Amino acid sequence: MTTRKPLFDRFADSVMNLDSPSYGDERERAVFMEASAFAITVSMMITLGIGLVAATLGLLLLPATMLAITFAPSLALSVYAKRKGVDITELASQASKRQQITVSVLIFTAFALTMLAMLWTMYFGTGLIDVTFPDVAGDGSPGLSGSVAIGALVGGALGGLGQFVAMRVKRRRA
């Protein structure tokens, strides 16, 4: 009788595809995983930073989204590790006191400042830094949010094209 893996494990397997040869050998895989951890840390810091800046500019939805997004990788990390028998909180408790305090203070400060800035906006109706976004496109334009969406699409397409070309060049050289 074959037992089917739980949904989370199947999802993680399909996302990670750990048997893929694209991970390289064991050292390359280890370095790739270190790089992934570094990238996640950086992206979480950027996300927190964007949330804080957006909150001070008087936005509410964007910082709230950024704070929520920050939880997603943490949650995924914790659940994934737990299913593999590794307790992240137990590991974190083994870090030096200084490192624990530094990380806790940084994260708590970012969260607290963002929340305070959002509360300020809700209470006073304007951000800590009052910025009026100029309508540089004029009438008949898609507006700021539309322009951002179009910019993201064009940027994403160009980025994808660049990645594709880079992979082709690398494959040709190999």
Site residues, another protein (CB under 8 A): 24-28, 30-31, 34
Considering the complex, what minimum distance in angstroms separates the CB of residue 21 from another protein?
Answer: 11
Q: Which residue's CB is nearer to another protein, number 80 or number 111? A: 80
Considering the complex, what minimum distance in angstroms separates the CB of residue 30 from another protein?
Answer: 5
Q: State phi, psi for 140 to the nearest 5 degrees.
A: 80, 0
Q: Which residue's CB is nearer to another protein, number 18 or number 61? A: 18
Distance CA 122, CA 126 (A): 8
CA angle 67, 72, 73 (to 5 degrees): 110
Asked whether the beta carbons of 60 and 119 are under 8 A apart, the reply is no
Considering the complex, what minimum distance in angstroms separates the CB of residue 22 from another protein?
Answer: 13
Asked whether the beta carbons of 121 and 51 are under 8 A apart, the reply is no
Q: Which residue's CB is nearer to another protein, number 34 or number 135? A: 34
In 10 A of CB 117, how many CB atoms?
A: 24
Q: Which residue's CB is nearer to another protein, number 31 or number 152? A: 31
Distance CA 78, CA 73 (A): 8
Q: Which residue's CB is nearer to another protein, number 33 or number 137? A: 33
Considering the complex, what minimum distance in angstroms separates the CB of residue 122 from another protein?
Answer: 44
Asked whether the beta carbons of 12 and 80 are under 8 A apart, the reply is yes
The amino acid at residue 76 is A
Considering the complex, what minimum distance in angstroms separates the CB of residue 35 from another protein?
Answer: 11
Cα atoms found within 13 Å of the Cα of residue 154, Cβ hemisphere only? 6
